[in-house]
Amino acid sequence: MFTSFLLIDAHAPALTRHRQRLAAYGPLELLDITPLHTPGAWHPKIAWDGQRWDIQMRPARPREVVGHINHAAHDQRCAPTTKGPDIPWLESTLGPGRSESLLIDAHGRAIESTYSSLIAFEGSTAWYSNHTRALPSTTLPGALQVLRDAGFNVRDTPGFEPGWLWGRPALMLNAFHGAREVYWGQLEQQRAPISAAAVTEALWMGAENVEKLRCSSGPRTRP
């Protein structure tokens, strides 16, 4: 069980929500966040193995502003709302260039993509999935607030109808890339009514210091 995110000079968006995720896995008083203060751009993985915490400081790769969903896969996750146990299966759903799959439930509804939450646009309405098998996203709540602030009507749905979703203007959201515009297979790109870059920039405006992950952390944000 783990969480991961893009970290730049000991700051990242939504660390409060990452802290909530970690607290559900293990005791935060045992978490030594010293490695997270390493200067530079990183993609840390903070994992709990049932007895201890482990932090892997992985160098950050370049962020992407577009993401590709080229196919669909029937959701076979055993623990879909926990980050970690189903990684081997999720990796098997990736296509060329690490394009993601649309994960489909037993009733034919689209839950999310391999490693991303989705926001689909219908005019000035932004739809997101509150499906019970969706991984609780650390990035989605902040992105939805950005859209509300921009004047969008934000609505939820218990999964998407794939035929309605496929090809629609949409954003993919995760804790490394932030927001990315979706390219659907070979279809002509339908641009989202708000740029992925603008959403990501707004998320980073609220970046928090890694001290937020401490058990008794107080509020700290990027100056």
End-to-end CA distance of the chain: 32
Q: Is the dihedral of CA 146, 132, 43, 46 positive or negative?
A: positive
pLDDT (tens digit per residue) in 43-80: 999 999 999 999 999 999 999 999 999 999 999 999 99
Whether the pLDDT of residue 223 is over 70: the answer is no
C-alpha distances in Å from residue 9, one per residue of 12, 38, 44, 145, 207: 9, 7, 12, 25, 11
Whether the pLDDT of residue 199 is over 50: the answer is yes
Band of residue 216 on the pLDDT scale cut at 50, 70, 90: low
C-alpha closest to that of 36 among 52, 61, 17, 55? 55
CA distance 154 to 146: 10
C-alpha distances in Å from residue 117, one per residue of 112, 146, 203: 5, 15, 15
% of the chain with per-residue pLDDT over 90: 93
pLDDT (average), residues 185-211 = 95
Q: What is the model's pLDDT at position 220?
A: 39
CA distance 200 to 205: 9
pLDDT (tens digit per residue) in 129-179: 999 999 999 999 999 999 999 999 999 999 999 999 999 999 999 999 999
Q: What is the model's pLDDT at position 196?
A: 98
Whether the pLDDT of residue 182 is over 90: the answer is yes
- How much is the pTM? 0.93
**Domains of the chain, start order:** 2-61+206-213 (no CATH), 66-203 (3.20.10.10)
- Which residues have a Cβ under 8 Å from the Cβ of 204 and sit 6 or more positions away? 13, 178
pLDDT (tens digit per residue) in 79-125: 999 999 999 999 999 999 999 999 999 999 999 999 999 999 999 99
3-state DSSP assignment of residue 124: coil
